[in-house]
Amino acid sequence: MRLDRFLSETTDLTRGLAKKALHRGEVTVNGEVVKQPAQHVGEQDRVHLEEELLVLVGLRYIMLNKPAGVECSARRGLYPRAIELIELPKVERLQTVGRLDVDTTGMVLLTDDGQWSHRVTSPRKRCGKVYRVSLAEPLEGEALENAVAYFAEGVLLDGEEKPIRPAGLTMLTPVDAELTLYEGKYHQVKRMFGAIGNRVEALHRVSIGPLSLDELAPGEWRELTDAEVAAFS
């Protein structure tokens, strides 16, 4: 790969700024200052920008415990973006795998591997996503039985042409539910409870497929292990 491209892949420099850094003599390859942007570098070469050794990053797979007040959008908006919590180079290349609302907390996966992202989100893969839901009104007795049956048979939400995929509902207390979904429609959990005359007060995603948030505190993130990445193949 050309040296200027290598620099732009491994740092936050654009190709233009990489060329300027080269011109200033800030880059060494195997200990020698190199100024030519077109010089070829390969895996065996040790490239430093000033004192920093540069390493090509491969595809990245990250789990974040999203706090409230952070959005899953790629574009800058009113709120800080989930990618801004990840202290890695080239975070702009990462995309969230599905989205959580700004006020929803919990597990978000981020990656620059589009095919993997598709495997995790595709409803056909039946990858369950588990949410803890705090409700405004208690849900118990006959109303609960009706809700469990209604969610299990597939609710037709306002504005949708097809019913949603069957979802699993379990109550932990009369106002705390655990809901398992197999797809991710816009505001799906809030709309489902709205459809049975209730309201979601707080929403937290605890797991996606075989991955659970374990000990990550709000705002913390970690890279997935190879086995965790492979679990969605």
Where do contacts with ligand URA occur on this chain (CB under 6 A)?
A: 100-101, 104, 187-190, 203
From residue 130, how far is each of 28, 162, 169, 183, 205 by CA, in Å? 49, 22, 10, 11, 6
Nearer to ligand URA, 111 or 188 (CB): 188
Cβ atoms of 45 and 89 closer than 8 Å: no
Q: Is 29 left (phi over 0), alpha (psi -120 to 50) or beta?
A: beta
Minimum distance, C-beta of residue 189 to ligand URA, in the bound complex (Å): 3
Minimum distance, C-beta of residue 143 to ligand URA, in the bound complex (Å): 20
Nearer to ligand URA, 5 or 190 (CB): 190
Minimum distance, C-beta of residue 198 to ligand URA, in the bound complex (Å): 13
Q: How many CB atoms neighbour CB 164 within 10 A? A: 20
Task: Please tell me the number of Cα atoms within 13 Å of 65 on its side-chain side.
Answer: 11
Minimum distance, C-beta of residue 71 to ligand URA, in the bound complex (Å): 10
What is the rounded CA–CA span in Å between residue 103 and residue 131?
Answer: 13
Nearest CA-CA partner of 23 in 48, 8, 4: 4
Nearest CA-CA partner of 181 in 103, 100, 116, 115: 100
Nearer to ligand URA, 2 or 190 (CB): 190
Nearer to ligand URA, 33 or 186 (CB): 186
Residues designated as active site? 101
Nearer to ligand URA, 7 or 147 (CB): 147
Nearest CA-CA partner of 54 in 36, 85, 28: 28
The one-character DSSP state at 21 is H
Q: What length does the chain have?
A: 233
Minimum distance, C-beta of residue 177 to ligand URA, in the bound complex (Å): 13
Radius of gyration from C-alpha coordinates of the chain? 23
